[in-house]
Structure 1
Amino acid sequence: MQHVLLKSKIHRACVTVADVEYEGSIEIPSDLMEAAGLWEGERVLVTSASKGGRLETYAQAGEPGTGKIIMNGGAAHIIKAGERITIMAFAISENPILPKKVVCDENNVIIRHIK
């Protein structure tokens, strides 16, 4: 039997910009994507710890080291700048997998890796 399992998680990140004029996606610094095992174009679930919004979009790699997490397009109406979010990606597997999980501070700097 195949299961849908968490494979990547960026926890407590902070949205720095919300741009409704962009065509869509969430832009994440490439260093954060790498730390969490996310790929460019990968489908992600984004949840807001601040206001409870949740949506699916795709990850777009941003400039590394900037800490800029940008909600683009219609998603910017649901999750806005300043909100604390969790970004998750899932995989289909017949076996358990060990997800890559990181926790960020308010500047989107990784403060710890979760085992």
Structure 2
Amino acid sequence: MQIEVLKSKIHRIKVTDCNLDYVGSITLDKLYMQQVNLIEGEKVQILNINNGERFETYIMEGEEGSGDVILNGPAARKVQTGDIIIVVSYATMDFEEARTFRPTIIFPIA
């Protein structure tokens, strides 16, 4: 049996910009991506702490060390610059593997 489990989470990170006139996605600083094992093009769920919005998009790699957390395209309508969000990715794996799997989670805002 295959199940979907939490793979990676950036818990409470501040949106640095919104860009409506873009194809769409979330741009994340490469360092954040490395810290939680995310790759460019990976599907993620965005949870907006400020307004309760929940939506899916994909990741674009931002400049390393930039601190970028930019919502682009239609996703830019779901957040505002300064909002606090959670970025979540999931993985599908065998039930027995999932029993021992531990997700990678970071907490950028203290």
Give the structure-2-normalised TM-score: 0.93
Percent of pairs with identical residues:
37
Runs of 4+ with >6 A deviation: none
How many residue pairs end up in the alignment? Answer: 106
Partner of 1:104: 108
Structure with greater proportional helix content:
2
Distance 1:66 1:39 in 2: 17
The CA deviation string for residues 65-92 of structure 1, in whole angstroms up to 9 with x for no partner, is 1111000001000122111000011000
Partner of 1:108: none
Please tell me whether residue 63 in structure 1 is matched to residue 67 in structure 2. no
Identify unmatched segments of 5+ residues in structure 1: 106-110
The CA deviation string for residues 1-40 of structure 1, in whole angstroms up to 9 with x for no partner, is 1110000100100101011001100000001000011011
Partner of 1:75: 75
The AA in structure 2 aligned to 1:50 is N
Distance 1:16 1:45 in 2: 18
The CA deviation string for residues 85-110 of structure 1, in whole angstroms up to 9 with x for no partner, is 000110001121211100112xxxxx
How well do the aligned residues superpose, as a CA RMSD in angstroms?
A: 0.9
